[in-house]
Amino acid sequence: MSLAESPVHSSSSDDFTGFLERALGSGSSHSSPDEEADYESDDGSERSTKRRKVENLGSIDETQGSTSQIFVEENSEASPKKDICTHPGSVKDLCIVCGQRVDEKSGVPLGYIHKDFWLNNDEIDRVRSTDIKKSLHLKKLYLVLDLDHTLLNSTHLNHMTAEEEYLHSQTDSLQDVSDGSLFRVDVMHMMTKLRPFVRKFLKEASEMFEMYIYTMGERAYALEMAKLLDPRKEYFGDRVISRDDGTQKHQKGLDVVLGHESAALILDDTENAWTKHKDNLILMERYHFFRSSCHQFGFHCKSLSELKSDESEPEGALATVLEVLKRIHNMFFYESKDNLIDRDVRQVLKTLRKEILKGCKIVFSRVFPSKFQAENHQLWKMAEQLGATCSTELDLSVTHVVSTDAGTEKSRWAVKEKKFLVHPQWIEASNYMWLKQAEDKFPVNQTKT
């Protein structure tokens, strides 16, 4: 978006919100103009979709003039303000509404909307409050999507093995990426494989969610991947967030997403990236297509590419999670009895997750390190989140013993009492598949001594 499109002539909330909507707009916009007029604004009045036309000054090349000049010159033509500007946002330390210098910058950087763009905390709250009403009226929530190992897998060209060389002759054209899945992206010196089912996933998810990309990769990489996933900008528009846009190093946060936390879901393969938003997170099974990806995470096995295989489209991770998203969306909008504005998608997510292992009582055996506090282990917490009850003591109410060794005392008890004896991967698979998995697919072998 050019600076000329910013509302420098007026400090009205409508103009500023209009600027943000145009900056983030995409082909998957919420609705038609007639529909937009139906929902209520913060003051209860009908919100008009016809915003005052801002003079088009043309695109601004930073090499041809400074941002300061643009704002100062534009502001000099504006009529005197009756009210003191609250400086809701700034670009290069200049208020995007009145053009004055903002010495004490506070709030959140939103560089993915415009370079050096900041929005103050009060304005972020106001924008989110306005947008949540619009989104809920249109039966839409927010969905934040990770890239690597969630929607796709990339590798540097010089990291490809001899067994992966055949892929160079199977790449799809970058001229029309809409039907392709394997691309050689020379500008990034990479090869990228889109996860099976990703195009149908994005199409159907866009009908229920306003979607963002959020990656820990560099911005240039994020934009190249967005071109492959969304060449016509139908799904994400300019809502592409990279590590350069975050407010905490090595962390992702919803503070840079202009959607309310109570209506936002996250799909990511890395739980530790979202330490402040785990209640919004749906953890994805990692997609390892290339050998380098397997090696990165310590898997010493042949990759899908080396095996000349791939994840199943109808039964893979994206197809599975799409069904989960549909259930969450339906529960949020059609099954809850709370007032729409008071509903919280995090509670819906928690309720749905607790159904997966409901009725299971689990005892672990030789799964945790000795002297480790069992209830603090990730698997214990995961099992409880899935609705199971966990215990350290055996009794006849126990339904499952989870172990890595069939020879332990607890494992032998499970066999004797005809209880389920399963490998820890049974819990993880149930978590990823959002369905209790068949126990016989996760047998426990006796450890050789």
At residue 336 the predicted structure's pLDDT band, cuts being 50, 70 and 90, is: confident
At residue 83 the predicted structure's pLDDT band, cuts being 50, 70 and 90, is: confident
The pLDDT value recorded for residue 428 is: 96
> Is 347's pLDDT higher than 90?
yes
The model's pTM is 0.84
Q: What stretch of H or E contains 247?
A: none
Q: Are 437 and 426 in contact (CB under 8 A)?
A: yes
> Is 110's pLDDT higher than 60?
yes
Q: Which residue has the higher pLDDT, 222 or 93?
A: 222
Cα(169)–Cα(82) distance, integer angstroms:
66
356-441 matches 138-334 in CATH topology: yes
Among 1.10.10.10, 3.40.50.300, 3.40.50.10190, 3.40.50.720, what is the CATH number of 356-441? 3.40.50.10190
Q: Are 69 and 179 in contact (CB under 8 A)?
A: no
> Is 160's pLDDT higher than 90?
yes
Would you kindly state where each structural domain of the chain is located, as residue ranges? 138-334, 356-441
Average pLDDT over residues 73-87: 58
The pLDDT value recorded for residue 103 is: 82
Q: Are 215 and 228 in contact (CB under 8 A)?
A: no
Q: Are 253 and 278 in contact (CB under 8 A)?
A: no
The pLDDT value recorded for residue 423 is: 98
* CATH assignment, 138-334: 3.40.50.1000
* Digit-coded pLDDT (tens) for 244-291: 999 998 999 999 999 999 999 999 999 999 999 999 999 999 999 999
Cα(164)–Cα(290) distance, integer angstroms:
8
Q: What percent of the chain has pLDDT over 90?
A: 71
The pLDDT value recorded for residue 67 is: 34
Name the amino acid, one letter, at 245.
D
